[in-house]
Chain A
């Protein structure tokens, strides 16, 4: 005989019926059922197969502590994997499939694996599949591992909402203690939030005949009414699954099947944990058989769902509160035999169908075995918060000990198992008073596990860890609790040791002749129960995963047919027009060299340094000497880390005595701004210098090429543009269309170049004007791809591409400040340490390839022969086919001993070796005639 639905009782709605399927068979349940309770009511006992041995398994309990009933569930075209059947609310039309079983849980083709269990003890992976090569076995083992299958179909709209919330008092658990605490607190004026993972509050109250003289349902409803009337909030179906730093509690509230749960990040003033207690299993032979269940689980299934788990029950529950639950089950119609004073190792009899229990030399005729070695407070959240545990010998369980002052456990979670005691404790703790002495003396006398039986005794049902495995771990000296856990995988499955933790500790303690506290405990970490990954994702997806910065001129670029891509955190034009990209890019390069290129330089940093100490500050920040820079002029400079490594390069413009503009790399603006502000506040007088990041305010249109001056002249900027009046590296302030404008004569292409910056709202006017005028001169827009080639032809570095995490400025050929600058600057000391001064550093070089050869591969290594083969002497950092020169060019970082012009080197890439010649890192206009024109 298996489970049945009793004629009355429970919280289900018996007036309505729900249809569902499990492993292809149809069943009925009621609103309020879980899938597991409905299956048990239908007499279904086998709900899964164990992870390793594929043994038939039934539900151990009726709520989150069940490790066995895990299903893939499909409803209305949506499918979710690995749903715990005991906590999944039944809905009409659900199709559930057991995981890790084929074709069904009842008849699984891999069930025969159990016969080979002797060859698959804990740790067998490390011992068996070694010869001839582990990788031969790996694919098969990976295929067999895991539970459940993903169907690859994404549920439309499955997105977690994530909100921040706060309260004075969070009460976790709406059983007796939690309801009482929430009611007391709300009435006192606190802002209270009460959460419970059940949709119906009440905890285990429904197992009782009455609560303070009224029926449990009425007591619960009254408490909820009073909480809400006093302004408290009640969140049903909400699991507090983790506690994080600074009193942050993570709560997942279910929204229904196919809808992602809501994530609430609750910042609390205080927290009361009324999370209840679980049954500790008794360890005995074949204790994993379907029909071996938790006593509390059985009582709860009857009280909440009107489900009687069996007709003839044998109960092993040596603790003080078992009698009440036994009485409830007898009232439900079961015949119950109590198994007391266990002196040997009991043994479950039967296979898929339980036939009895053998204990103390006697056979108990039963169809169900209910066990409880005692109650275990649910202390996980307590431990997340850093609370300590104490072993109580009388109660044979861990209870909360000392902990943070903002969180306390009450009720069963605190080892206060009796109702009146729990209610009194809850009231006292709300008021921060000491709880009155307990009137009820709870005790438990769990039988100790005894190794050596012929039949296996399960410790961890989810990972198929037995008492023999614990003994094996002890023999192999994995006696530390942390080693025991990792070696056997005890407690590492999705139930995170809820039913196996104390059983395993008890086993190791018995084997070693120690007490449980001496064995120790492992660490409890969130999440307390499995939660979908979606809970953490929310809107962190697609474009919100890494939102790109957008240009004010993006509409203009798109209208011009630009190919947009990410460059340094911005969405920028790579090239313009349709066709083969490399052909377009080459045309843009030639246009820029022959006439002019017009490109959007808006992302370049525009960080202003202002104040009487601005000059000294900028001189300190930069490697190069800046204090001699005069107003109206610009200087190229390197920003170093304190370790002397090049962090950024840029140009510094001096506007006047007390004002500089740092134009750093586009991708580094946020980092540079943070560094500047950090140095401003630490090491300088913050009242003497200020940092303003104005990058977003200004947009920049750059015009570069031989016709740049003519095009700029057409913009009517009212300024002198001749080389004499406006030399290279000069800055002018002027107006455009009646608004302030700045023109910097700087170049990243090696040709005459002007960067015109205007307020971003004016950028479209400037761009359109520049494009129109440029068209008359045969110039046009160019994108980042063409710009990359143009700068490489000139040998201009891109930090992070042509430099690595060790490159110092003297490696790039800028050695004078290191030798001559006397004022302190960031990184100065590191530039003179042994590492910076060693001879074999990597220098920045150019490379030529033999005529007719293809370009070198980016990342190709320069190699030299050693006695063991080859060694790398550097690598190619930038490599292009230069349209300007009609041949390949490359830049790289090379060991100093080879980095001399004219040296021939071998270049290795993907099995091929080629030759190249070191040259000066400047292929275009080395004397700067075009740049200074």
Chain B
């Protein structure tokens, strides 16, 4: 029987201070709702009232948008309140995932450099899906609102590990930026 309490930093919870290095600001945001919908994507988007699902490097914007996970699955952010379960009339499966993801907002000149530390990603290599492996974490990555502004969804239970990783990456990017000056 082991007590490793002191070997692991206490989980920070869903309220935490931003990481701000000057070159990048990393913060946790809290969408009102996240809904996983599986089935024909067009039907899912129509039902959600959202025009298109974002992959990479398309840019999401506004309060409500959808991410394409697979050819038959989207994650709707701040969409309508839909009942969990199978909707036979629409051929769609719905699950509320509002508390299932931590959503990290990454913004600033070093933002892309941080992403490039965890995964191969570039604006020249498009992907229809927002799903990626980021340093081994299964996440969704997409651009939000502007260049050098990205968001990352990670399963809630791995948020602390990812946050700590992003902190390391932000520091490294800051050091490199300083050395390159």
Contacts and interface: CB of A to CB of B under 8 A. Distances in A.
Interface in A520-576: 539, 543-544, 547-552, 554-555, 558, 562-566, 570-571, 574-575
Interface in B121-173: 121-122, 124-125, 135, 137, 155-162, 164-165, 168-169, 172
A690 B93 contact: yes
A722 to B, nearest CB: 27
A30 interface: no
Given A696-B100, A696-B101, A759-B99, A564 B3 contact: yes
A463 to B, nearest CB: 38
A129 B101 CA distance: 62
B8 A564 contact: yes
Contact of B4 (A265, A547, A566): A566
A695 B39 CA distance: 20
A163 interface: yes
B1 A163 contact: no
Interface centre among A549, A550, A762 (most CB of B within 10 A): A550
Nearest to A165: B116
Nearest to A157: B175
Interface centre among B4, B11, B176 (most CB of A within 10 A): B11
Interface stretch (B18-26, B57-65, B84-92): B84-92
A555 B12 CA distance: 8
A676 to B, nearest CB: 13
Interface stretch (A3-11, A637-645, A652-660, A846-854): A652-660
Contacts of B11: 550-551, 554-555, 571
Contacts of B36: 692, 694
Interface centre among A549, A697, A698, A761 (most CB of B within 10 A): A697
A756 to B, nearest CB: 15
Given A267-B120, A558-B10, A687-B39, A574 B2 contact: yes
Contacts of B124: 166
A694 B1 contact: no
Given A539-B168, A562-B5, A692-B95, A655 B85 contact: yes
Contacts of B73: 690
Contact of B93 (A544, A548, A692): A692
B131 to A, nearest CB: 13
A581 interface: yes
Nearest to B10: A558
A658 B93 CA distance: 10
B175 to A, nearest CB: 8
A686 B96 CA distance: 21
B98 interface: yes
Contact of A694 (B13, B39, B100): B100
A611 interface: yes
Contacts of A612: 86, 88
B14 interface: yes
Nearest to B100: A697
A904 interface: no
B157 A166 contact: no
A659 B86 CA distance: 7
Interface string A755-780: 00001111000000000000000000
A337 interface: no
A164 interface: yes
A217 B164 CA distance: 46
Contact of B165 (A539, A574, A697, A759): A539
B157 A555 contact: no
A161 interface: yes
A582 B3 CA distance: 12
Given A543-B161, A565-B3, A692-B93, A659 B38 contact: no
A562 B156 CA distance: 21
Given A543-B164, A550-B160, A694-B97, A658 B5 contact: no
B113 interface: yes
Contacts of B13: 555
Contacts of A164: 116-117, 119-121
Contacts of B160: 547, 550
A554 B10 contact: yes
A884 interface: no
Given A558-B10, A610-B38, A575 B1 contact: yes
Contacts of A656: 85
A571 B175 CA distance: 32
Contacts of A667: none
B88 A658 contact: yes
Contact of A543 (B8, B86, B101, B120): B8
A544 B117 contact: no
B161 A544 contact: yes
B156 A611 contact: no
A851 B155 CA distance: 50
A585 interface: yes
B17 interface: no
Contacts of B181: none
Contacts of A611: 86, 93
Contacts of B96: 694, 697, 740, 759
27 contacts: A165-B116, A166-B120, A265-B120, A267-B120, A539-B169, A543-B9, A544-B135, A547-B161, A548-B161, A550-B11, A550-B157, A555-B10, A563-B5, A564-B4, A565-B1, A570-B157, A608-B95, A658-B86, A690-B38, A692-B36, A692-B38, A692-B93, A695-B100, A696-B97, A697-B100, A759-B96, A761-B99
Query: Which 8 pairs from chain A and chain B are nearest by CB?
Result: A547-B161, A697-B100, A563-B3, A610-B93, A549-B157, A658-B86, A690-B38, A760-B99
Interface of B: 1-5, 8-11, 13-14, 36, 38-39, 72-73, 84-86, 88, 91, 93, 95-101, 113, 116-117, 119-122, 124-125, 135, 137, 155-162, 164-165, 168-169, 172, 175-176, 179
Given A562-B5, A575-B1, 9 more contacts: A163-B117, A164-B121, A166-B120, A166-B122, A555-B11, A558-B10, A612-B88, A696-B100, A759-B99
